[in-house]
Structure 1
């Protein structure tokens, strides 16, 4: 079976084509033209450029019109101008025509009208939900009951089912009898049980938060990425882990950096006062999160061991024995995030929290900054990315996040 991909699918993920290396992929010529036109788009330009670069690597090793092998799969560009009764000359109809001239293929599109028109013309069409494995995010693997028994008995289990997942990927193992287990890929083909490491002042409310606590408390992980919707607990869990590390004397200080960016990109103008007074509006969110598990006098007792700074203060600093949190990282460009990570010294950890749906810096695209960091560090032994998909702040927050795709 071949996959015919439309532009919406390829632009949904910078690695969408590369993730399909074990499939036979057909790309209509009009899709290439549309990718070219999106190269400089602030949000989807990165995905367009990355997929075009991947196609270029294939082009130099073969003929894309004839098809280029990608191992167990292939990529072929469909250049024919398909004329079918009832189809127009529009790009969407050209894509449908390409699928019609490749019997047995499935057209993947995130465009509802394209899927509806495909059905009318007898073309099997499906919405794209992603095919990538080993992205470092959470995946579900179906195993037998014996595998889960072994995992609980010995704390780890190895299986060929886990071979395709990147190091530090988070897995939910499920069996046919309804049992499940949570684990993290610690070695090639091996999954280990989650371990908190030290006592957290908050408890996980869902699987994603369990994965986050494991990553935050693991001594082997020095860079942790926490992404998720509004109210999913990104900042709360990061702060809780930092305070726990402080109380456990694993670190000497917790340092939080927040971008000075107003909601919606609104200009606030000049703010008078000291650096601490200038940061007060942005520090309030940190104190709100701390207040969930600490009393006000306990927060005050932290004193200089807790500092909240703007990112303008990071250059030239070295953070040793420090739990560093870069909050709202979706508002930062790549070099700012890289600069922050490069400041981490001995016995320190850095946590990047982000929600790409809440970008207030209009100069940073959806696939810039934090997206490139995750893509570049995925699979490294010191890095782990966790997706938090469920809002736990309140029923209202969850309703808003789900309804408006926050």
Structure 2
């Protein structure tokens, strides 16, 4: 029986003598006869896949354009640094859509290894994207951002599923990730001319390049607690001259445990916050703290005068109004969380240490002082440091040593102080523990006086990690100067200390004071203003 003929159906469809169809993954080249034979079958399959992708991409583009034909919903292209800075950033754009370039996913993969904050954020973003993708069957149709329960995000998430490399108006290196993202933004801008396509990046140079190319670019501002640093809650307010004439009607007053209380009514009551300080200077000065706000009435309580030497704290007396307010918060057992802002030399660390030593060694309210700070160098890093955890932290705690030396000197000068204040420096330091922030997760502090120095260099997430370590009987004091932020991508509005000041204002067990006047030296005061 004769053998059947070799089927020629595939050869009929593919003509190896013709030039293969151009593919977007490769530059258009004329195939050589030798390579054409080996690439013939894969070329057919790739061409069929490309045709399907092209049809799907076209229909997807029509869906994206149809939903936003009015131009109300914007399309935000996220840079990788936005995802690494805030892992939940894709849910912060309300009704607008999010587009993730493929190169951003590549950069996420490069940053996912390690134990740093950036690596943790990269892994969290990857897990979130994986959960979103598991909720839908067709990624090309878009992913509803509210499918995981984030009801405030009503837009859709789109991944880059085809090549988008429209030429830029300026020739830039194609191998750089930033330029690849700019090319994606340019392609989306050309594809949806009636829609606002905006690049969101924390990189200033990236935004500058985008604007130079005629593309819209914005900073990621959702992590900003406030838009202007001048709007930061100060913790104290000056009462107007006509305060008593407008608020003394039907006023009630009483005295309890040496403190005078005033129950007032008037137009300013609605602006008061619990634990906010109010003051009136003149012939009849008033320095009080808001204890309660209920409807149209408020209760004010006079504060203790720590400017008087008899009320000194570990030999330290308040030198100005704001320092007096700060010591009232630091020494109040009902206040669990205190934030102090101020420029260099205003006495933040000194007041916190003096209050801590008094309540640890005299009143025995706390068992010890724990001090920590973020290790961000001002200049070049000096590398790894030898020794134990506390020995490694000592170079970062120069402020602690300086203030302890001052407090010890003040204690020896005052002959009327109790014996506890004249303790040796070694005994005092034995009640002060210096800890690294890297090992705070999972810990619980019981009856501790915790001082977080240089808190302006902390992110909101790091601040949350530290504050949630507080156990029963613990007091946390955050010190910072938002004019000296050394952490990249953090600004005055997005700093962790700004975040907690805004979130804790008005809570009955927290207080805040912004220190205004420097008390270090006349040279330091002039340098802060002139430089």
Q: If the TM-score is normalised by the length of the shorter chain, which range does it land in?
A: 0.5 to 0.7
2:302 alignment partner in structure 1: 193
1:396 alignment partner in structure 2: 523
| Greater Rg over alpha carbons, structure | 2
Shift of 1:298: 2.7
Contact 2:342/2:515, CA 8 A, preserved across alignment:
yes
Q: Does the alignment pair 1:139 with 2:234? A: no
1:258 alignment partner in structure 2: 373
In 1, Cα distance between equivalents of 2:468 and 2:368: 18
In 2, Cα distance between equivalents of 1:342 and 1:276: 22
Moved more, 246-255 or 190-199: 190-199
Shift of 1:234: 0.5
In 1, Cα distance between equivalents of 2:426 and 2:524: 29
Contact 2:290/2:299, CA 8 A, preserved across alignment:
yes
Distance 1:402 1:305, change over 3 A: same
Shift of 1:313: 2.4
Alignment map for 1:83-94 (pairs within 5 Å):
none
Contact 2:329/2:511, CA 8 A, preserved across alignment:
yes
Contact 2:229/2:492, CA 8 A, preserved across alignment:
no
1:165 alignment partner in structure 2: 272
Distance 1:241 1:310, change over 3 A: same
Q: Does the alignment pair 1:343 with 2:450? A: no
Which of 335, 347, 350 is the matching residue for 1:221?
Answer: 335
Shift of 1:144: 3.2
How many residues are treated as equivalent by the alignment? 288
In 2, Cα distance between equivalents of 1:291 and 1:305: 15
Which of 258, 261, 265 is the matching residue for 1:156?
Answer: 261
* Residue aligned with 2:338, SS: strand
Contact 2:234/2:514, CA 8 A, preserved across alignment:
no
Contact 1:195/1:218, CA 8 A, preserved across alignment:
no
What whole-Å deviation, never above 9, does each CA across 1:132-158 have from its counterpart, x for those lacking one? 9xx4522101223896x9879761223
In 2, Cα distance between equivalents of 1:167 and 1:246: 27
In 2, Cα distance between equivalents of 1:179 and 1:233: 28
1:332 alignment partner in structure 2: 458
In 1, Cα distance between equivalents of 2:305 and 2:462: 30
Shift of 1:297: 6.0
Which of 361, 372, 377 is the matching residue for 2:504?
Answer: 377
Please report the RMSD computed on the Cα atoms of aligned residues, expressed in angstroms.
Answer: 3.6
Q: 4+ residue stretches of structure 1 with deviation over 6 A?
A: 39-42, 128-132, 149-154
Shift of 1:259: 1.4
What whole-Å deviation, never above 9, does each CA across 1:261-298 have from its counterpart, x for those lacking one? 2225x322222222222112112210111222215963
Contact 1:196/1:213, CA 8 A, preserved across alignment:
no
Shift of 1:179: 3.1
Distance 1:150 1:403, change over 3 A: farther
Moved more, 312-321 or 346-355: 312-321
Contact 1:136/1:378, CA 8 A, preserved across alignment:
no
Distance 1:393 1:204, change over 3 A: same
TM-score (norm 2): 0.49
Contact 1:331/1:359, CA 8 A, preserved across alignment:
yes
2:9 alignment partner in structure 1: none
In 2, Cα distance between equivalents of 1:185 and 1:53: 37
What whole-Å deviation, never above 9, does each CA across 1:237-277 have from its counterpart, x for those lacking one? 0111100100210111111012112225x322222222222
Contact 2:252/2:263, CA 8 A, preserved across alignment:
no
Contact 2:237/2:277, CA 8 A, preserved across alignment:
yes
In 2, Cα distance between equivalents of 1:324 and 1:374: 17
* Residue aligned with 2:438, SS: helix
1:323 alignment partner in structure 2: 449
Which of 275, 280, 290 is the matching residue for 2:394?
Answer: 280
TM-score (norm 1): 0.63
Contact 2:229/2:493, CA 8 A, preserved across alignment:
no
In 2, Cα distance between equivalents of 1:366 and 1:346: 31
Per chain length, whose mean CA-contact separation is higher, i.e. which structure has more relative contact order (CA < 8 Å, sep 6+)? Answer: 1
Contact 1:233/1:393, CA 8 A, preserved across alignment:
yes
Alignment map for 1:63-102 (pairs within 5 Å):
none
Runs (5+) with no aligned partner, structure 2: 1-75, 97-227, 410-421
Distance 1:322 1:130, change over 3 A: closer
What whole-Å deviation, never above 9, does each CA across 1:12-69 have from its counterpart, x for those lacking one? xxxxxxxxxxxxxxxxxxxxxxxx9xx9999xx99xx9xx999x9xxxxxxxxxxxxx
Distance 1:376 1:281, change over 3 A: same
In 1, Cα distance between equivalents of 2:492 and 2:479: 15
Distance 1:297 1:261, change over 3 A: farther
* Residue aligned with 1:263, SS: coil
What whole-Å deviation, never above 9, does each CA across 1:350-384 have from its counterpart, x for those lacking one? 00000001112223222121111111111111111
* Residue aligned with 1:293, SS: helix
